[in-house]
Structure 1
Amino acid sequence: MTALVLSISTAVFSQQTDQSKVIDSYVKEVMKSNEIPGLALGVIKDDKIIFQEYYGMDNLEDPKKVDASSMFRIYSTSKLITNIAVFQLIEKGKLSLEDKISKYVEDLPKKWQDVKVKNLLTHSSGIPNVIAFNDISADTSNAQAIQRLEKEKMDFTTGNEYRYNQTNYMLLTMIIEKITRQSFEDFILKNQFYDSKDSFIFSSNSIEKIPNRIVKYNYNPATKQYEQSTAVDGVRAHSANGLALTLPAFLKWSSHLSKNDFLNPATKEMMWKSFDFGNKKDVFAHGWEINKTNNIQSYGFSGGNVSAYRIFPHNNMAIVIMSNGYNFFPAQYQMVNHIASIIDKNLTDAYSLVEESIIAEFSKRDNPNSEKNYYSIKAKNPTWDFETTLNEIGYILMRNSRTDEAIKVFDLNVKEHPQSSNAFDSLGEGYFSAKNYTLALKNYKKSLELNPQNTNALNMISKIENLIKK
């Protein structure tokens, strides 16, 4: 029996070692193609950390390697921590999804009175988005922000649709602080990071100097260099995008979540239940994205295009990715999908893997194999559609001052989708950017022909005709 157990243990260790090598090689390839400065990656499987590695630099100005003390800012992935806090209060009977927010927040606009806690979590409130208005500064008080937003119409009927919105989390913070009579940050520390208090911090101020905190880098295609983010969102944004933490702290948090230390199984099931949107189209849980691979559901979120978390309850697995910038394509979702497939073949998303291949080929400058790769994939999978992917690639190429390559991708998309108004609209924009007004006009007219409701095409046609007259 002892020999059998030893044999099984050796086989499992060997398998994990092989998987680790494959993951390590894959991560290095992604970092190279996207010119990612620094990255931390962790994987938990069957309640054990099976992968925990650090790559690259956390500071390009004074090069320091990413390590276990590096605190990555995870941006909107912070919302998951807020979601847990809300459901901890629900589990204790201090809050209900069906509670109207007016029960906890005073002096709300009349048109907000029917918004419930569940609408904040599911981004179905219809309340105007606080970050959409430049006259609401980072240091504006919550009360002043609400007074300003009161002047705006509701974006849509409450409960009808999903529309990502930072005001929802400002209000959730106010509710948490009202019920607990403590600051949001203190409540999170005491109830989620009690064993990692020196490894996380809340700050939505990118220019604030914090030891070991990594600042996000934005790639400037004009200078072909990375520049540190200088965004300052203020304390109001802590619950939505302000958390920075180390990989070990994030993995501890994930372990607590899996082991039901934060919430009991029934509460987690409630949290991960899909919300019934009025439009019957949108899919989202209570603060969590719902992903499905081969009918296996997982839940997570991402932030700033530099972080992602996904938990696979049915596979007893979780993946954490944190980075500090990218050049070409935000790869966090594809990385999660790819790594999940390496660890568990049942989680292989074939579409995602080939989509990743398409993006990787087009990211290479003047690559003659990019279209060949695309057509090869399509020949093997003729029913798969990549209209959105090609469109995104085209715009990314344009943002990187690779207009000629962008036009080729947009043109490919038009050939693949000759009845798509949007594809012709994008090709028109590509030609307009290249100052080829004749072809821009031709494609905008085709776009309008396919979709007479395309006001952008209509406006651009007028604009181009005026330019040609001059």
Structure 2
Amino acid sequence: MKQFILNTLALSISVMAYTQKTEQSAAIDQYVKEMVAINQIPGLAIGVIKDGKVVFQKYYGTETLESNKKVDSNSMFRIYSTSKLMTNIGAFQLIEKGRLSLEDNISKYIENLPQTWQEVKIKNLLTHSSGIPNLITFNDITVDDSNARVIERLSKEKMDFKTGNEFRYNQTNYFLLTMIIEKITGQSFENFILNNQFSDTKNQVVFSSNALEKIPNRVIKYNYNPEKKQYEKSTDVSGTRAHSANGVAITLPAFLKWSQHLSKNDLLGQKTKEMMWQPFDFGNKKDVFAYGWDISKVNNIHSYNFSGGNVSAYKIYPERNLAIIMMSNGYSLFPVQYRIVNHIAAMIDQDLTDDYLLAEENIITEFSRKNNPDAEKTYHSLKAKNPKWNFENTLNDIGYILLRNSRIDEAIRVFALNVKENPQSANAFDSLGEGYFRAKNYALALENYKKSLTLNPDNANAIKTIHTIEDLMKKK
């Protein structure tokens, strides 16, 4: 009888656990569907790993807007700058094997560097603290230029800042990491990454930084044109040297396996991962960034993450054995990659709930709904729960996104709310002035720009726009 009771109890616990997981998956699915609808996301893939097991894996929408081909396990999403995570792992694999050091000068591996680059180290490339000029800001550098030509061109520019002093996101850093990895390994960058991180999923990963290249099963990224109120295919082409920075296209199953390998220390040993996730000691003592990873913390629980193109994100919570992958191919209003990831994390583990971020997401979601009469009520309701919360930047961002999408009256209402909530903010009045200016209500635009200037006499934009408005009003 005792054994029967124990077996019955075990079965009951198992059924309860299964039911809870089923309900949790259904809740995540419902949430994601709402986000897809509100943000008009064409195609999306979401994956969650908890305690080493895939607990959620689902696909939404279509690979393209020109066909009805559904997103599925064979769909390869371009993850853009999230590709840098694979490059980071590759660099630390070489460090772990003693073939590379964070303290190595890059001049040890690359010849004919300008004198001002001689003291730049591997650690500075990984942490975006090199100070080397960003190659993508120079129109005379083409995708077909040789590596030597790129370095020669950049050497004519001054350093952006003293090496190691600050964080400044920069594609040149990863271009140089590509050269160094290839020099050390004698392999192409692509083969090195595939062989050492995707040996069991090679056919589910491709490298291409060319949006125009025809690749089977690769999902097309779309950029929303607010003036035409429609999506347009991405046409970005940045060449093979950008593969380490933005070139990975990958299926969700392959990304999930990569994440499992990372957690199981198959890609890097535990001590090496801990070193990779340490905050870099920036000279300005302000910036926070690890070796190629953003660092986040919720309720004193650390996570490490990165996103790409505002359409993909990867976040891992080592202390909670949790990782979340989000890949999409477009959005019409607000970038949602981290909002989705953070929200799902809180649904999986209540200790990962960030009440402020959830409130912010709720505010953004409500104002995203067209002509939603309850949006402001929701804002005040959430603010009442914690009066110390400040959403000035959030409201400002919402207003400008609505403005860019020709929802001018709604944008003005958001800007006006921001002014009411932050009456000493010159920036809030400046934004409200711009809203009225776009609506061609020059009298109210002038009033708000003048108020902004009173609060901040150095507001050059307000001074310039006031002159413009006064000239327009004279012509009437």
TM-score, normalization: structure 1? Answer: 0.97
Identify which of 74, 77, 94 aligns with 2:79: 74
Residue of structure 1 in register with 2:274 after alignment: 269
User: Quick check: 1:238 aligned with 2:243?
Assistant: yes
SS in 1 for 2:87: helix
> In the alignment, which of 307, 316, 324 is matched to residue 311 of structure 1?
316
Who is 1:337 aligned against?
Answer: 342
SS at match of 1:432: helix
Cα distance, 1:110–1:465 mapped onto 2, change above 3 Å = farther
1:283 aligned residue (288, 301, 306): 288
Question: What is the CA-CA distance between 1:335 and the residue it aligns to?
Answer: 0.7
Q: Deviations over 1:404-455 (max 9, x none)?
A: 2112111211111122222222222222322333333333333233233333
The alignment-based identity, stated in percent, is 70
1:112 aligns with: 117
Structure 2 vs 1, CA of residues 451 and 108 (structure 1 numbering), >3 Å: closer, same or farther?
Answer: farther
In the comparison of the two structures, how many residue pairs are matched? 470
Q: Report the Cα offset of residue 399 of structure 1.
A: 1.3
Q: CA distance change for structure 1 residues 432 and 128 in 2, over 3 Å: closer, same or farther?
A: farther
Alpha-carbon deviation of 1:174? 1.1
Q: What residue is the counterpart of 1:164 in the other structure? A: 169
Q: Which amino acid in structure 1 is aligned with residue 192 of structure 2?
A: F
Q: Which residue of 2 aligns with 1:444?
A: 449
Q: How does 1:348-367 map to 2 (within 5 A)?
A: 348-367=353-372
Change (3 A) 1:267 1:388: same
Change (3 A) 1:258 1:361: same
Between the aligned partners of 2:381 and 2:20, the Cα distance in structure 1 is: 32
Task: Specify which of 281, 300, 303 is matched with residue 298 of structure 1.
Answer: 303
1:125 pairs, out of 130, 155, 173, with: 130
Q: Per the alignment, in what secondary structure is the counterpart of residue 214 of structure 1?
A: coil
Q: Provide the C-alpha distance between the structure 2 equivalents of 1:459 and 1:368, rounded to a whole number of angstroms.
A: 35
**Cα displacement (A) at 1:125:** 1.4
Which region of structure 1 is more displaced relative to structure 2, 276-285 or 328-337? 276-285
- In the TM superposition, what is the alpha-carbon distance from 1:177 to its structure 2 partner? 0.9
Select between 437-446 and 273-282 the one with higher mean Cα deviation: 437-446
- SS, match of residue 202 in structure 2: coil
Pair 1:424 & 2:429 matched: yes
Q: Are positions 1:14 and 2:19 aligned together?
A: yes
The aligned residue for residue 150 of structure 1 is: 155
1:299-352, Cα deviation, whole Å (9 max, x unpaired): 111111111100010000100111111111111111111101111111111111
CA distance in 2 between counterparts of 1:119 and 1:444 reads 42
CA-based RMSD: 1.5
For residues 128-150 of structure 1, give each alpha carbon's deviation from its aligned partner in whole angstroms, at most 9, with x where no partner exists.
11111222222222222222222
* Residue of structure 1 aligned with 2:64, choices 59, 62, 84: 59
Q: SS where residue 322 of structure 1 aligns?
A: strand
User: How far, CA to CA, are the matches of 1:54 and 1:222 in structure 2?
Assistant: 29
Q: How far off is 1:185 after superposition?
A: 0.2
Distance 2:81 2:312 in 1: 8
- Displacement of 1:263: 0.4
Q: CA deviation at 1:468?
A: 4.1
Q: Which residue of 2 aligns with 1:384?
A: 389
Match of 2:465 among 436, 447, 460: 460
Match of 2:94 among 49, 72, 89: 89
After superposition, what is the alpha-carbon deviation per residue over 1:263-313, rounded to whole angstroms, capped at 9, x for unaligned?
000000000011112222211111111111111001111111111100010
Which whole-Å CA distance do the structure 2 matches of 1:207 and 1:142 have between them? 23
1:35, 1:163 → 2: CA distance?
A: 32
C-alpha distance in structure 1 between counterparts of 2:473 and 2:186, whole Å: 64
Distance (Å, rounded) in 1 between the aligned partners of 2:253 and 2:134: 33
| SS of residue in 1 equivalent to 2:62 | strand
Amino acid at match of 2:390: D
Q: Is structure 2 residue 414 aligned with structure 1 residue 395?
A: no
After TM superposition, the runs of 4+ consecutive aligned structure 1 residues lying more than 6 A away are: none
Please state how far the C-alpha of 1:4 moved relative to its aligned partner: 4.2
In structure 1, how many angstroms separate the alpha carbons of the residues matched to 2:368 and 2:442?
A: 26
Alpha-carbon spacing, 1:208–1:352, altered in 2? closer, same or farther (3 Å)? same
- Output the amino acid matched with 1:88: Q
Alpha-carbon distance, 1:6 to partner: 3.3
Q: 1:35 aligns with which of 37, 40, 43?
A: 40
Whole-angstrom CA distance in 1 between matches of 2:458 and 2:277? 37
2:108 is the alignment partner of 1:103: yes
Q: Check 1:448–1:171 CA distance in 2 against 1; reply closer, same or farther (3 A cut).
A: farther
Aligned to 2:295, the other structure's residue is in SS state strand
Report the counterpart of residue 28 of structure 2 in structure 1: 23
Of structures 1 and 2, the larger Rg is shown by: 2
Change (3 A) 1:240 1:405: same
Which has the higher mean CA deviation after the structures are superposed, 415-424 or 379-388? Answer: 415-424
Determine which of 184, 192, 195 is the counterpart of 1:187.
192
Query: Any idea what SS the aligned residue of 1:58 has?
Result: coil
Q: Name the SS of the counterpart of 2:63 in structure 1.
A: strand
Q: CA deviation at 1:458?
A: 3.2
Of residues 260, 269, 279 in structure 1, which corresponds to 2:265? 260
Task: Specify every segment of 5 or more residues in structure 2 that has no aligned partner in the other structure, as ranges.
Answer: 1-5
Cα offset for 1:230? 0.9
Partner of residue 413, structure 2: 408
**1:48, CA displacement in angstroms?**
0.6
Does residue 251 of structure 1 match 2:274? no
Which is further off, 83-92 or 274-283?
Answer: 274-283
Q: Which amino acid aligns with 2:404?
A: R
Change (3 A) 1:68 1:298: same
- Aligned AA for 2:364? I
Cα distance per residue 1:15-56 (max 9 Å; x no partner)? 111110000000001001001111111100011111111111
> SS at the partner of 1:233?
coil
1:224-274 deviation digits (Å, cap 9, x = unpaired): 221111111111111111100000000000000000000000000000011
Q: 1:3, CA displacement in angstroms? A: 4.2
